[in-house]
Amino acid sequence: MSIKLPDAENTTPPIQTTLKSVLSGWKLTWLLIAAIAVGSTIAAWAVGGVNGANLGIRITARTSAILFLLAFTASSLYQLWPNDTTKWIRRNRRYLGVGFAGSHLVHAGFIVATIVLNQQRFETRVVDPTPHGVFVLDFIAYGFIIAMTITSFDRVAKRMRYSTWKGLHLTGSYVIWFTFFIAYWRRGVTYTEFYGPFLMIVLAALIVRFIAKAKRGTGKATHT
């Protein structure tokens, strides 16, 4: 009597399988949104008042930036440094992108909370140093975030021409990138120790995309 042992290459530990399932696809998206919403709310509640809402804004601004930049550079990172990590990022690019949209929705909620909790400032018409053009850019970026999120679902995407879908997501991604760049550039000049590193990361993301694009162009030229 012989016992056939399972192929070692095809056996995956149950815990690893579970983690892989949770940290992929739409489960990853909902997990990210829930963690960001709960974590930032607890932090804001612990501080309390307007300062707590401002803390929530800062936390979600950073989580949004991280998730967006991962989605923004997903294909480029894998092209330049192909490994298991960059492969996972590329495979989950859509879900990271929708997770970013969820994070920015929470971010918007904290902005509203700040306005509500700080009505006196607005009633006395305290001058806001933020240029009006920045507000316009933010509104445009939010419009693209909404449109890109809706068209990230298969049912909607299948009803669109691919060229239209691609144009929307390509244009939107650069508008959102520029919004983050302006936000961190304005603050990075004054508060270098806090915002400088994020400004460098935002710039690095664009450079990575340009290098990957140049490399693809060189590869095509070589094969022609």
pLDDT in tens, 55-97: 999 999 999 999 999 999 999 999 999 999 999 999 999 999 9
- pLDDT on residue 8: 47
Whether the CB-CB separation of 98 and 152 falls below 8 Å is answered with yes
Q: What is the dihedral of CA 144, 173, 95, 44, to 10 degrees?
A: -70
Q: Long-range contact list for 166-172, CB < 8 A, 24+ apart? A: 168/144, 171/144, 172/144, 172/145, 172/147, 172/148
Which carries the bigger pLDDT value, residue 17 or residue 104?
Answer: 104
Whether the CB-CB separation of 90 and 77 falls below 8 Å is answered with yes
- pLDDT on residue 132: 79
Q: Kindly indicate the confidence band of residue 11, based on its pLDDT and cuts at 50, 70 and 90.
A: low
- pLDDT on residue 124: 56
pLDDT in tens, 89-113: 999 999 999 999 999 999 999 999 9
Compute the distance between CA of residue 85 and CA of residue 87 in angstroms, rounded to an integer.
5
| Sequence-ordered list of residues with C-beta below 8 angstroms from that of 57, at least 6 positions apart, any chain | 107, 110, 111, 114
Compute the distance between CA of residue 138 and CA of residue 186 in angstroms, rounded to an integer.
14
Q: How far is CA 52 from CA 63, 107, 113, 143, in A?
A: 17, 13, 10, 27
DSSP per-residue letters across 149-212: HHTTSHHHHTTS-HHHHHHHHHHHHHHHHHHHHHHHHHHHHH-HHHHHHHHHHHHHHHHHHHHH
- pLDDT on residue 135: 85
Overall average pLDDT of the 12-22 stretch: 58
Show the tokens assigned to 11. 């056996």
Length of the chain: 224
Residue written as token pair 């607890």: 42
Is pLDDT above 70 for 21? no
- pLDDT on residue 125: 52
Which carries the bigger pLDDT value, residue 155 or residue 218?
Answer: 155
Round the average pLDDT of the chain to a whole number and report it.
Answer: 87
Q: What are the E-state strand segments in 58-97?
A: none
Overall average pLDDT of the 136-165 stretch: 95
Q: Kindly indicate the confidence band of residue 1, based on its pLDDT and cuts at 50, 70 and 90.
A: very low
pLDDT in tens, 164-209: 999 999 999 999 999 999 998 988 777 777 788 899 999 999 999 9
- pLDDT on residue 45: 96
Show the tokens assigned to 3. 């016992």
Is pLDDT above 90 for 118? no
